Amino acid sequence: MMNHMVQYQGARLDASFAALSDAVRRGVLEQLGRSDASITDLAAKFHMTLTGMKKHVVVLERAGLVSTEKIGRVRTCKLGPRRLEAETAWMERYRQRWDARFDALESVVAELAQKEKIDGRKT
């Protein structure tokens, strides 16, 4: 059961980061953070074809970052139910690791600088 959870979590992270890897898709999320929009409106805003924007929306939708609703001939997009909590936690773990490494490096550099200063006085 635990292996399935890890695989599911990994698949979610993969889908999210793949969706967020494209500047247009990040822009779509920013736009939808301000207000819901139709795919046609999004395509016009980003100077894209309707087909191109639909492809971007599908990627965002599969990642759970956007949801769409079709009313008549208009498909409206809005922010999806996912809040990127797992993605934020993943990034935070790595940020903490890098902070620890840079802190250790800073200590080594300070120690070397102090030693150099002391050695310089002896000569």
| pLDDT, greater one: 27 or 118 | 27
31-81 tens-digit pLDDT:
999 999 999 999 999 999 999 999 999 999 999 999 999 999 999 999 988
58-67 tens-digit pLDDT:
999 999 999 9
* Per-residue pLDDT at 11: 86
95-118 tens-digit pLDDT:
898 888 998 899 889 889 888 888
| CA 58/CA 28 separation, integer angstroms | 12
pTM for the full predicted model: 0.72
Burial tier of 100 (Cβ tally within 10 Å: 0-12, 13-18, 19+): exposed
Q: Which fold, 2-79?
A: Arc Repressor Mutant, subunit A (1.10.10)
| Listed residue (8, 9, 10, 28) closest to 19, CA to CA | 28
